[in-house]
Amino acid sequence: MSAAETTTAKVPPTRPSPPPGTGAAPAPKPGGKPKGAGGGVPWLLLAPCLLILLLVLGYPLVRLVTLSFQKFGQPQLWGFKDPESVGFDNFSKILGDGEFWSVVVRTVVFAVSAVVLTMVIGMLVALLLQKVSGWVRTLINIALVASWGMPIIVATAIFKWLFDADYGVLNWLLSRLPGVDMVGHNWFASGPQGLAVIILLVVWGAVPFVVITLSAGLTQVPKELEEAARLDGAGAWGVFRYVTLPILKPIIVMLTTLSVIWDMGVFPQVFVMRNGHPEAEFQLLTTYSYDKAFVVNDYGTGSAIALVTVVLLLGVVAVYMRQMLKIGEVE
């Protein structure tokens, strides 16, 4: 076909539109979505899940808020007296109590220490897994999943035995070192030492999840970028800081936020380690709220402490959402 014939080729006539009043529907636009398609189907599918969340989370939260503004003890629990509204008296009592603020500081230090150790150890192990052979990586992953799946009560019982003053394996091993005598040493004689043991227990249980998640993220780091950084003269730290770390930032932010929430809510480790009666120097916000509510039978004050804890955790979630939005804007 010549160029002239190409330019003079006839274009197929367009399809005429139907005359008005015939009832024929106009043809849908290419790629367009029919009006009303989907409708409320997504919400209908989500309704059972939302209903369960409302029952499981909504009612307890409403009840918690209600109790925090009431005087509610054993007489009210057994129905001998009606709950008495006290306004903000419960909050004024705990916010003006020096013991409460000591517990808050102790909880924050505990959570920060556990999170930092968890993230550092988890990152180091994840990086190490990239350097070993496939079968070694498989064995380590199996061990990580096994330790991660161990019930908290079982793990706590094992740690109690390891750090036992009379029959603990750790004291026996340390005493084998030259000049070290740890026979009969009680790790829970002081708050800092005892909390350090509990932090190790929390870290031991949290590291597997962090390692597995970071290992999955490391597989998405382009090898070409790492090679280019090395060719530009960057060392191992430079490659990690300027290539690996920025790519893993969303995962690190997520893991850090989840770790803070989990470690701020630590309860069974402290409760079981101290045989159900944590001393004052071992009290965290969760155990402190439990003692006020179920040991002292002051459910209003216990609810107020729990509500303050929820507000603190919501602040952590707000920081997490802000960081994720910033990462989304950059991308």
Q: What is the pLDDT of residue 9?
A: 46
* DSSP one-letter code for 72: -
The pLDDT-based confidence of 4 (bands split at 50, 70, 90) is very low
Q: What is the pLDDT of residue 66?
A: 92
Sequence-ordered list of residues with C-beta below 8 angstroms from that of 166, at least 6 positions apart, any chain? 184
The pLDDT-based confidence of 206 (bands split at 50, 70, 90) is very high
Are 69 and 85 in contact by the 8 Å Cβ rule? The answer is: yes
The pLDDT-based confidence of 318 (bands split at 50, 70, 90) is confident
Whether pLDDT at 331 is above 50: yes
Are 118 and 104 in contact by the 8 Å Cβ rule? The answer is: no
The pLDDT-based confidence of 32 (bands split at 50, 70, 90) is low
The pLDDT-based confidence of 302 (bands split at 50, 70, 90) is very high
User: What is each CA distance from 102 to 95, 98, 99, 108, 314, in whole angstroms?
Assistant: 11, 6, 5, 10, 21
Whether pLDDT at 255 is above 90: yes
Are 240 and 218 in contact by the 8 Å Cβ rule? The answer is: no
> Most confidently modeled of 27-31, 57-61, 220-224, 251-255?
251-255
Whether pLDDT at 310 is above 70: yes
The Cα–Cα gap between 238 and 226 comes to 10
Instruction: Tell me the average pLDDT across 65-74.
Output: 89
Q: What is the pLDDT of residue 168?
A: 87
Q: Between 239 and 115, whose confidence is greater?
A: 115
Sequence-ordered list of residues with C-beta below 8 angstroms from that of 122, at least 6 positions apart, any chain? 206, 207, 210, 211, 214, 255
- Mean pLDDT over all residues of the chain? 84
Q: What is the pLDDT of residue 128?
A: 92
The pLDDT-based confidence of 276 (bands split at 50, 70, 90) is confident
Give the residue from 311, 296, 261 showing the smallest Cα distance to 77.
296
Give the residue from 271, 257, 159, 161 showing the smallest Cα distance to 210.
257
Q: What is the pLDDT of residue 6?
A: 45
Percent share of the chain, pLDDT over 90: 38
DSSP 243-274: IIHHHHHHHHHHHHHHHHHHHHT--HHHHHHT
The Cα–Cα gap between 187 and 115 comes to 22
Whether pLDDT at 10 is above 80: no
Q: What is the pLDDT of residue 256?
A: 92
The pLDDT-based confidence of 231 (bands split at 50, 70, 90) is confident
The pLDDT-based confidence of 229 (bands split at 50, 70, 90) is confident
Amino acid at 228: A
> Most confidently modeled of 222-226, 236-240, 266-270?
266-270
Upper half-sphere CA count for residue 119 (Cβ side, 13 Å): 19
pTM (2 d.p.)? 0.80
User: What is each CA distance from 299 to 21, 68, 212, 306, in whole angstroms?
Assistant: 72, 8, 40, 10
Whether pLDDT at 162 is above 80: yes
* Distance in Å from the first CA to the final CA of the chain: 49
Give the residue from 153, 103, 30 showing the smallest Cα distance to 292.
103
The pLDDT-based confidence of 330 (bands split at 50, 70, 90) is low
DSSP 155-203: HHHHHHHHT-TTT-HHHHHHHTSTT---TT--TTSSHHHHHHHHHHHHH
Q: What is the pLDDT of residue 5?
A: 46
